[in-house]
Chains A and B, each alone.
Chain A
Amino acid sequence: MSAPVLTARAVTKNYRLGKREIPVLRGVDLSIADGERVALLGASGAGKSTLLHVLGLLDAPTSGAVEYDGRVVHDLSVKERALLRHRHTGFVFQFYHLIPELTALQNVLLAQMMGVSMFGYLGRRAALRAQAEELLGQVGLSDRLHHRPAELSGGERQRVAIARALIAQPRVILADEPTGNLDSATATGVVDLMFAVQQQRQLAFLLVTHDERLAQRCDRVVRMFDGKIVGEEAATGAGAAR
């Protein structure tokens, strides 16, 4: 296994509720290497999503460190973290989180516009559009480019979200319950797609899930309880067989 691309060292996260401090993460150590598929399993309230947000630099840890490729990144400026998030990390959420006013193609293009100036985008618009169309084709949505999220099924919306997460060629995919809002058949299709892309691109993949069977399809299963990692094991399912 290669060097870790994403590392959490003794990460804690507390939330303030009035005068009280509520600890959500209590010293978490986790690392993920290139091409590794890690499942984060735990009951509701274990701190899985919070850890995901801290690793994705959407939230800052109360203490501890987050490293990307060995470099400490959690204390960068807001702007630098946003740029890093754009280039290094792709998010896939349970509820897709697509912009309802934009079409499938525009939602993917939006991710490409993040680190580009107006004039820079206008100069490369055709190339970026072609790239987005190709990616949407890879996720099976060639004929849905100009449909808004309200006109897409749940599975199709999640595919758009996956394409959006991949368009900036990230090193890491952080997926928070990506099948939580899908029926089982659709969920299987989406998971198969995600794993295929992950395999193809050798992305580091952190999957937050309740689903034990889904977790066993990964390389490693990390179990969380009450803000701490309480167990870590190799997966026994398809992921272990890779």
Chain B
Amino acid sequence: MIAAFSPFLALRYLVTRRINLLGIGGVLFAVWATLVVDGVFTGFVYEIQNDVRRATPDLLVTDLPDQTSYDTLRAAIEADPDVLHSAPRLRHYAVLQPLRPPRGMISQGASEVDFNQMQGGFALLLGIDPLLEPQVTDVQAWLERGVSSLQSRTINGRAPVVFDEPDPKRRMYLKLPDEVEWRARGRAGLPREERVEDSRSEWPGVLLGWRRWHYTQLLREGDPLELLTAMYPPGSGGDVKISTRHTRLAFAGYFGTGYRLFDETSALLPIETLRSLLGHDISNPRSKAIVTDVAVRLRPDLPPAAWRACQQRLRDAVQALLPAGAAPCSVLDWQQQNTVFLTAVNHEHKMMQFVLFVVMLVAAFVIYATLHMMVVQKWKDVGILAAVGGNAADIGRVFLLCGLAVGTLGALLGTGLGLLTTTYLNDVNEWLYRETGLELFPRTLFDLPTIPCHLTPGWVATVAVGAVLLTLIVSYLPARRAARMNPVQALSYE
């Protein structure tokens, strides 16, 4: 039973002592900050994870020996009941350079040394099969995102059309419409047919990660790019001999996955073009369809256990097909393909949550300090309450209820304000930018059209209830002190 005087007196103490506003304000701020900051951070983490997910196939069969053929692996992979599709991939490195230097190259004022901020620059080549790749990754969405990312920097353009080519033989090489290459040849001063009707596209297309825009900004669809790569075939005497290969490609447009590293470093080109560069005679039907990886799409909504089981089965199936003594291959899910990056992101998130918890602790300490001060100042009242018949537990409860009320009010107000802030965060950001030119979160920095925010009812409740519990805990000590006070000493003091 809670004696009636405990809440009665607690309420009077709260109302008449303005110092308690400090405690309420502290909890309010802590809850508000936790909800807003963690909500935005979680939103960013979700966006980053979604972007990584979008850029990554369900599974990637990798760590394959040199000269592994896709034809050897395909049947075994697609025989698995949980596998829907697979697609070959070939990774290599090259230097990509516009045939004619772009006029008026725009300096970015880099704050760090970046090898990409040169004319051309190194690129991670990802050879894909344009006929099979859309079955394992959302390539079309990549193309649309590339356009929207550039539009956020007021660079207009249209989504690449190479995947819309109806002829599979042309689509296989990401070839642009004939008239596009014809016009590009004219701009570059290269030989071309007299009439556009007589011309045929010769150059395979290449798609660049949109973040390479600062040196390709003035490139137009169809502009020729020179690709230079190197190989290290063993020489006749067993020594390594470097040989270089180059080819001409047509700039087919930009793609964007949202995964910054991928968008900065990668160029997508037809796998057959890359195989040819690496010395394979693609006109020979018996030539190996070499791959470095195989991208796999699984059935949707597979539970995690089935996912892992499929990984193991594919690992075993692929390993059985590799030459004896070959190093173990790997079958990585989308998280394992990006372990370092995702771990870093999650670690930053945890650190942020820890910092916010410390803010909450500071607010709780403010409550402890104000309650402790109140107990010291109300020493005499404790004696009075004991003299008129109050028992120690109920006397202590007065101060516990004070702390609980402060914490509850602060948590409720903080939660309300936090939800309001997160709801209108983008409106406030827009208004601020419009009126002052300032942005709470620079959109170009994170390539997001709006500030993401992710709050679940469960997390909101956890933060609010956690704040209240924390204030209850820190209120216990001052309350206990009040309950243990000697009423005779309190009454004797004057």
Contacts and interface: CB of A to CB of B under 8 A. Distances in A.
Report if A and B associate in a common complex. yes
Q: Which of B3, B389, B391 has the most CB of A within 10 A?
A: B389
A85 interface: yes
B178 interface: no
B307 interface: no
Interface string B467-494: 0000000000000000000011001101
B488 A114 contact: no
Interface stretch (B4-12, B112-120, B251-259): B4-12
A164 interface: yes
Nearest to B487: A58
B387 A59 contact: no
Given A58-B386, A97-B380, A118 B7 contact: yes
Contacts of B389: 82-83, 85-87, 111, 114-115, 168
A79 B3 contact: no
Contact of B2 (A53, A56, A58, A118): A118
B13 interface: yes
Contacts of B491: 53, 58, 93, 97
Interface size class on chain B is 20 to 34
Given A101-B13, A102-B12, A91 B387 contact: yes
A109 to B, nearest CB: 8
B475 to A, nearest CB: 19
B381 interface: yes
A78 B391 contact: yes
B390 A99 contact: no
Contacts of A31: none
Contacts of B4: 113, 116-118, 120-122
A59 B486 CA distance: 9
A106 B8 CA distance: 10
Nearest to A128: B4
A110 interface: yes
B383 interface: yes
B384 A99 contact: yes
Contacts of B391: 78-79, 82-83
B494 A110 contact: no
Contacts of B16: 101
Contact of B3 (A114, A122, A165): A114
Q: Is the interface of B mostly helix, strand, loop or mixed?
A: helix
Interface residues of A, number: 36
A131 interface: no
Interface in A142-168: 164-165, 168
Nearest to A115: B389
A99 B388 CA distance: 12
A164 B388 contact: yes
Contacts of A99: 9, 12, 381, 384
Contacts of A98: 384
A110 B9 contact: yes
A95 interface: yes
Interface string A2-46: 000000000000000000000000000000000000000000000
B392 interface: yes
B8 A79 contact: no
Given A58-B488, A110-B5, A91 B388 contact: yes
Nearest to B483: A78
Given A58-B387, A97-B380, A113 B392 contact: no
B40 interface: no
B37 interface: no
Contacts of A116: 3-4
Contacts of A121: 4, 8
B1 A117 contact: yes
A79 to B, nearest CB: 5
Contacts of A106: 12
B393 interface: yes
A97 B383 contact: yes
A49 interface: yes
Nearest to A176: B491
B388 A111 contact: yes
Contacts of B380: 97
Given A117-B3, A121-B4, A85 B9 contact: no
A122 B12 CA distance: 17
Interface string B30-53: 000000000000000000000000
A118 B7 CA distance: 8
A95 B3 contact: no
Contacts of B13: 101
A116 B387 CA distance: 16
A97 B492 CA distance: 10
B135 to A, nearest CB: 68
Given A101-B12, A116-B3, A53 B488 contact: yes
Given A97-B380, A99-B9, 12 more contacts: A58-B387, A82-B390, A82-B392, A85-B389, A101-B12, A110-B8, A110-B9, A114-B5, A114-B390, A116-B3, A116-B4, A117-B1
13 contacts: A82-B392, A85-B386, A85-B389, A87-B389, A91-B388, A95-B494, A97-B383, A101-B12, A101-B13, A113-B5, A114-B3, A115-B389, A117-B1
- Counting from the closest, the 4 A-B pairs by CB-CB distance are A86-B389, A121-B4, A82-B391, A113-B5
